[in-house]
Amino acid sequence: MSLDLASFASIRSFVKDFKERHQTLNILVNNAGVFMCPYMTTEDGIEMQFGTNHVGHFLLTTELLDVIKKSGPARIINVASIASYINARLDKAMVEDRRAYSRLFAYCNSKLANVIFTAALARKLMGTEVTAYSLHPGFIATNIFAHIGLWQRVQNLFFINPTHGALTSIYLALSANAGKMSGKYFVRRQPTHAHPSACNVEEQDNLWKYTEDLIAKYSEQTSYGTF
């Protein structure tokens, strides 16, 4: 099924089509990634890295939650990055002000949002049969480096292949042990310490509200309806 995480219209069309075709969804792996692109925006006008890597996944996940909850036990896996540690905290200015944009730090911003969102989601899903996880997959040789030239040419010498890069996601989707650790951040199939912001309930709620507000604002601007 076609899905563009940089388009609210595509996400909502996908969700509608999915629900018409399927009654259950037991595993959702959110793995779209835009890395260090020049400043650009999604179809709806949100800074591209934050808009695709976080907001697109947030909208897709929350629009599918009714099906996921009915399908329990079910799991949601958000592919984040070790880059989530780089920024001291989530930087809204980088999303809202083009002058504050940095290719690298905007990526880190989006990956930190992935980890915070996962922790918030796991907390909100307590008492259901749905669990949520985030992870760093490793440094993987894919076309995600297309915007930074030299890396694209030398990555195959140093980085792991996509099969190895998928192992932690597969572990989180299928392992009985992982099922007991909802909300955790994983590296090499092991739970580890997430960014402090992910452990802060106030910051979790602030990101959730901020993302809902972005979706409502940009949905209105593009006439797709409200969240």
Token match 């909208």: residue? 59
Strand runs labelled E in the chain? 27-30, 74-79, 130-136, 185-187, 190-192
Two structure tokens written together for 205 = 């709620």
pLDDT of 82 reads: 87
Of the pLDDT bands very low, low, confident and very high (cuts 50, 70, 90), residue 105 is very high
197 phi and psi, to 5 degrees? -60, -30
Question: For 178-192, what is each residue's pLDDT tens digit?
Answer: 888 999 999 988 999
What is the rounded CA–CA span in Å between residue 179 and residue 61?
Answer: 19
3 state SS of 111 = helix
Please say if the pLDDT value at position 95 is more than 90: yes
> Chain-wide mean pLDDT for the chain?
89
What is the set of domains in the chain, with CATH numbers? 8-222 (3.40.50.720)
What is the rounded CA–CA span in Å between residue 108 and residue 36?
Answer: 9
What is the rounded CA–CA span in Å between residue 99 and residue 95?
Answer: 10
Question: Which residues are tagged catalytic?
Answer: 107
Mean pLDDT of 94-105: 95
